[in-house]
Structure 1
């Protein structure tokens, strides 16, 4: 009886406490003038913010159709999730896509497909019901005239996403997965962290703040870059970042609150201060001085050097092509980042309206170098929602030699597209420095998820390539892909839409490429 009375008394006091809290919140709402809804509707006005937060996941899981959402709709995300988990990624009862939508991609298969021989590197494994080897080596050597030329083992690789933008656990997962598959891992502009040193080959992205290769005053240090190239044999290329698709012409900001001791040590920046990357490089100011900087880095390190850029005005692209043709110098590869890309934070006006989408950006730049006769000297890399088999095949048809994948990689290791990357509150631990949120991301598991995703993506690229009658994606032409012009009776080839033909890529067979990879190990 006493216990019952105590229990009733306890819950009574709880009730009084809750009532007092509600009254206190109501009084606070009535007295404040900062939020109109809370003042006019005390207590219940707070639910407005709750539903605002709940809106995106409700729409994502309960309201939106398979094709409604952006950047990646449910159908695309489901394919990536199923592929990463090695689950059934097929679909039944036909396609639910609108074939008449403007820009819809049609890949034209051959009447008789290419069938690799049993001893071919991509020969069919009857037991596993898949190619014996899913990696597709790049058809071109990058920087053949450099001391350490590089032929990537995979045409599908990880795009630049820095430690700081992504968590250490996410970087470690991607790097270990890349090592399992054999693709390279672009560091993003946040420098090489300990999490990048888990077995995969690395491409160092060098941004305007020169993180990881800067002195105490923040200036570029050739000595530090040379030391990195000497001590890290897995460092295979340097990518000079001019701009990125999400915010071209605008520098990044890393708030002091997000800078941990580990990030500060990795980037070479002080604790307790906002890190603001300028929108321009201090080492060069025009095309000739940029090319000179590229050549100096290549000479000092022996590594191939390229540039990464979003695309807007074309005058400097014309100038670069003309200068390269006249001097024989210049970047060994060019990464074109579409305006629809972006894994971190960006002002909406920049993300939505500044820089061209991938297909327009790439085709305009490629034509400039095609007309200058430089396509055999340059390896072209595409970036911007190319982590799905159909868009990747289209990129190869347009002239890409490789594709880099960013957000699709994030999805494969657990990202659920809450679009909270800029808040440090990523619920899956992928894009946050919050240790608690990172705790749920297991690199041992997620590295395998990424490996299975990139393997499946490469396998399907290979399957479609073979269906088109070719051995390697570099052989796919602009006549092999049509796009819908927006009505039921008209499609046009990529060549007709963009007004050029992709340059021929010299290709001596996939077996030769694999043999070259083994020989190329001496360059490491």
Structure 2
């Protein structure tokens, strides 16, 4: 044995390298899976290595500032700077192609709205509640006015890590925003003090029985034990994969996730594409009304938009019976924080601006828009895009990926394989250790504050006190060479219904309807 070790020790290191290359060469030549390696042994591995780091090369070296999708470097940089409370301005003018098709312009007023000294906005610049009250039109027992127009969208525990949700909920508490649970159930990390919108989908996680069916008793018990739950949202579909059930790989299911979702350990968890708790549109209305009656909470629905026939049926039922959802969350086809097949993410359901304009008109034609709180979701986490959404009829904005970016997401696009390098979209404990919850909570809060500040400044530039006062004439969109720019009213052929807004002072006086500020 000693003689063999002495022999190996006497060999120079480069002979080891040559030996290793010969082994790799022989393996490559005789393997059957990869053409490149059979034809170009050894050197072919460099091709696969370069392919593996291609996204990073393009993100940091090759792509220009405005080229990447879904969020380019300028957009991510604005969120990062806002979250870190750094200078988020830019110098030397815009580098956007302002003549591009679909480019939006906010029409400023000749005289901006003046913020009077001693007014609500002057004394409390971050005070920007929703102008409408969820559940007020149908006299729900516990109506709810969101204390912020910008809130955290549905992202579940399982898709995101415990520390990521912990940071988000703590951050939301600081800025009085609500935190949507996503369909993974109510976790301990949703209980850090922020208002909560409890969201469930076809898997009924957190409110399901042993057979996987919806349990009203479990929902009632959950609401009774957790007063921070201020509204219930039933997910019909989501922007990334409407009409397709979700999958949580068994590798991401921890003991805690198993207990919260009421699912077995080690097995992939499948959400079916349709609900078993009700059938058809009439069944949906009855289901929503039953939940609202049993819990006393405003109850709404979330969906991506495509065909309108069933939406028209829903509107007709709501018009004739006075029953139905208190709020509707419209998710754009460009959304998606988790995993989805490219065929769905790329092609199924309309982008937010097209889907929302179609849907809003369905309810407006039946004089129902004043009774519904419309929530917009789908890459709207920037002040100018939010202003456009408000002008089209949105009452609140939900942000998902933007919230992830604010706490450190680098757009690695690894959400679907449990290897997120920032620990945000993984259950890997080692990767999660990089998230310092108090620090990331401050960053999310800072992003929300800067968002609200710039949204209010744009609102004041247009001559208004609150974003709810925007209408379709306040935003122009570039429609091509022939028409140049036209208002949203001209482009989408409708005008939003005016919101009953009596001033920020009146909202302040009704502040008791929101919960997170107390």
Matches of 2:401 and 2:25, distance apart in 1: 43
For structure 2, list consecutive stretches of 5 or more residues without a partner in the other structure: none
Query: Does structure 1 conserve the Cα–Cα contact (< 8 Å) formed by 2:208 and 2:218?
Result: yes
Distance in 1, matches of 2:56 and 2:475, equals: 35
Q: What's the Cα RMSD here? A: 1.9
Contact 1:100 1:487 in 2 (8 A): no
Q: Does 2:438 align with 1:444? A: yes
- What secondary structure does 1:122 align onto? helix
2:50 alignment counterpart: 51
Distance 1:508 1:245 in 2: 34
Q: Deviations over 1:411-440 (max 9, x none)?
A: 101111111111111111111111111111
Displacement of 1:324 after TM fit?
A: 0.3
Change (3 A) 1:294 1:69: same
User: Which piece of structure 1 moves more, 30-39 or 6-15?
Assistant: 6-15
Q: Which residue of 2 aligns with 1:434?
A: 428
1:21-40 alignment, distance < 5 Å: 21-40=20-39
Contact 1:148–1:523 (CA<8 Å) still a contact in 2? no
Match of 1:97 in 2: 96
The answer to whether the Cα contact below 8 Å between 1:149 and 1:523 also exists between their aligned partners in 2 is no
For residue 360 of structure 2, what is the aligned residue in structure 1?
366
Contact 1:100–1:488 at 8 Å: present in 2 too?
no
Alignment equivalent of 2:135, drawn from 139, 143, 158: 143
Structure 1 residues 339-358: aligned runs within 5 Å:
339-358=333-352
Residue number in structure 1 paired with 2:414: 420
Question: Once the two structures are superposed, what CA deviation does each residue of 1:441-494 show, in whole Å capped at 9, x if it has no partner?
Answer: 111111111000011011110000011000000001110000011238720000
Counterpart secondary structure, 2:370:
coil
SS of alignment partner, residue 106 of structure 1: strand
Structure 2 SS opposite 1:447? helix
Give the CA deviation at 1:116: 1.7
**CA shift for structure 1 position 521:** 5.0
The answer to whether the 8 Å contact 2:456/2:466 transfers is: yes
SS of 2:510 mapped into structure 1: helix
The one of 157, 179, 189 aligned to 1:185: 179
Partner of 2:217: 223
1:401 corresponds to 2:395 = yes
- CA distance in 2 between counterparts of 1:11 and 1:455 reads 67
Report SS of the residue matched to 2:452. helix
Equivalence for 1:127: none
- TM-score if structure 2 supplies the norm length? 0.96
- Return the alpha-carbon distance in structure 2 between the equivalents of residues 180 and 406 of structure 1: 17
Partner of 1:291: 285
| Secondary structure in 1 matching 2:416 | coil
Q: What corresponds to 1:241 in structure 2? A: 235
C-alpha spacing 1:497/1:15, structure 2 compared with 1 (3 Å): same
CA distance in 2, matches of 1:175, 1:206: 18
- Are residues 320 and 38 of structure 1, via their aligned partners in 2, closer, same or farther at CA, if it must alter by over 3 Å? same
2:177·2:516 contact (CA, 8 Å) conserved in 1? Answer: no
Deviations 1:144-175 (A, max 9, x none): 11111000000000000111111111111111
Aligned residues: 512
For residues 328-350 of structure 1, what are the alpha-carbon distances to aligned partners after superposition, in whole Å with 9 as ceiling and x for unaligned?
A: 00000000000000000000010
Measured after TM superposition, the shift of residue 24 of structure 1 is 2.1
Shift of 1:137: 0.5
In the TM superposition, residue 361 of structure 1 has moved relative to its aligned partner by 0.3
Match of 2:207 among 194, 213, 217: 213
Change (3 A) 1:8 1:176: farther
Partner Cα distance (2:226, 2:337) in 1: 27
Written as runs of structure 1 = structure 2, the 5 A alignment for 1:31-180 is 31-123=30-122, 132-144=124-136, 145-180=139-174
Q: CA deviation at 1:135?
A: 3.2
Q: TM-score, normalised by structure 1?
A: 0.95
Partner-residue secondary structure (3-state), 2:192: coil
Compared CA separation, residues 473 and 495, structure 1 to 2 (3 A): same
SS in 2 for 1:123: helix
Distance 1:427 1:18 in 2: 32
Summarize the Cα distance change of 1:102–1:268 in structure 2 as closer, same or farther, 3 Å threshold: same
Q: Does 1:318 align with 2:312?
A: yes
Q: Give 1:258 deviation, angstroms.
A: 1.7
Q: Report the 3-state secondary structure (helix = DSSP H, G, I; strand = E; otherwise coil) of the residue aligned with 2:360.
A: helix
Structure 1 distance, partners of 2:215, 2:17, is 60
**Which 10-residue stretch deviates more, 100-109 or 52-61?**
52-61
Verify the 8 A CA contact 2:250 2:268 in the aligned structure 1: yes
Alignment-derived partner of residue 374 in structure 2? 380
Cα distance change, pair 41–225 in 1 and its aligned pair in 2 (3 A)? same
Change beyond 3 A, Cα 1:35–1:409: same
**Unmatched 5+ residue regions in structure 1?**
1-5, 125-131
**Following TM superposition, by how much is the alpha carbon of 1:507 offset from its aligned partner in structure 2, in angstroms?**
0.6
Is the 8 Å Cα contact of residues 109 and 467 (structure 1) preserved in structure 2?
Answer: yes
Contact kept in structure 1, 2:194 and 2:516, CA below 8 Å = no
What is the distance in 2 between the residues matched to 1:418 and 1:339? 20
Q: Deviation per CA, 1:225-279: give whole Å up to 9, x if none.
A: 0001101010000000000000000000112122111111111101121111100
